């Protein structure tokens, strides 16, 4: 069984999850600041309490939020862990949205993961109205 834990992840757990999916290395201070400055963070743990996934929400909490660091370790992929995480992230953002308004929930999708996000109602870009996403590493 997978348990979802809200707003309780350590820097070590965050760095370990990133390492287990071969993401870019962060310094401890970067990781701490990232966790401290997000609006919401969840982790998925297995029966033993071992973290097997996570996701964060960053943004202004009024007009736009972003899903950041949606991670599911390889051995837990295909078990609906990612779906549980993304569902909780969307619920959080919908819960902070001001009544009668629309808030954008955006993300940058890893190559090859597009279908997962499409199944979760995200629109791939570009479209006729929306240009492609962009990135600049500094």
Considering Cα of 90, then 95, then 100, then 106, what sign does the dihedral take? Answer: negative
Spatial separation of the C-alpha atoms in residues 53 and 76, rounded to whole Å = 8
The model's pTM: 0.93
Q: Which fold has domain 3-119?
A: Aminopeptidase (3.40.630)
Q: Which residues contact 8 (CB under 8 A, 6 or more apart)?
A: 43
For residue range 104-124, list pLDDT tens digits in order: 999 998 889 999 999 999 999
CA distance 5 to 126: 34
pLDDT in tens, 52-78: 999 999 999 999 999 999 999 999 999
């Amino acid at each position: 069984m997978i348990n979802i834990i809200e707003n309780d992840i350590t820097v070590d757990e965050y760095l370990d999850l990133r390492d287990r999916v071969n993401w870019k290395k962060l310094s401890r201070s970067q990781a701490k600041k990232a966790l401290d400055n997000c609006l919401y963070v969840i982790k998925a743990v297995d029966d033993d309490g071992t973290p097997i996934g996570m996701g964060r929400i960053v943004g202004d909490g009024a007009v736009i939020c972003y899903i950041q660091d949606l991670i599911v370790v390889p051995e837990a992929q295909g078990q609906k862990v990612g779906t549980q995480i993304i569902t909780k992230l969307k619920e959080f953002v919908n819960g902070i949205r001001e009544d009668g308004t629309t808030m954008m929930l955006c993300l940058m999708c890893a190559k090859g993961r597009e279908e997962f996000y499409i199944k979760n109602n995200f629109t791939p870009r570009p479209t006729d109205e929306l240009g492609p996403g962009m990135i600049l590493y500094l």
